[in-house]
Amino acid sequence: MLKQESAIKLENQLCFAVYACSREMTRLYRPILSKYNLTYPQYLVLIVLWEKGECTVKDLGEDLYLDSGTLTPLLKRMQEAGLVVRTRSQLDERQVIIGLTEQGKEMQHKLSEIPSMIASRCDLQESEFHSLLNKFQDLLKRTSE
């Protein structure tokens, strides 16, 4: 650990490095996603739905670490754009099921090159990418328990 006097410096704050890196990563995505009229959170919703097919708002929120107050307006905009459908569960009307429209499904092919574009912009080799991914996933797991 750092000495107490150096621990309080901005350059020694893990939280700031993660925060600033997250903002910069999101900034890299912005011009690419704007071509498809998508925001970064909308892109993440699409990724989850491409993997799962459909899920509840609650499950989507858990996967993305977002609350329903953030997700609901985002999903409404995505529905208005023709990317997702929202339906009440037949089993429990309190649950809203989110699924992809054909247009939402077709976006997967259009956006499939984005991860490699971002890795290239960050000048990451495949081994570096996987190492960073594993470290951040581990950190996320540790902090969310």
Residue 53 has pLDDT above 90, yes or no: yes
pLDDT tens, position by position, 84-102: 999 998 888 888 999 999 9
Residues 34, 40: Cα–Cα separation, whole Å = 9
- Identify the CATH number of the domain defined by range 6-130: 1.10.10.10
pLDDT tens, position by position, 123-136: 988 899 999 999 99
Residue 5 has pLDDT above 80, yes or no: no
pLDDT tens, position by position, 111-123: 999 999 998 999 9
Question: Can you tell me the mean pLDDT for 28-32?
Answer: 96
Beta-carbon contacts of 64 under 8 Å, excluding residues fewer than 6 positions away, are 41, 44, 45, 48, 71
Helix (H) or strand (E) holding 66: none
What is the number of other CB atoms lying within 10 angstroms of the CB of residue 111? Answer: 19
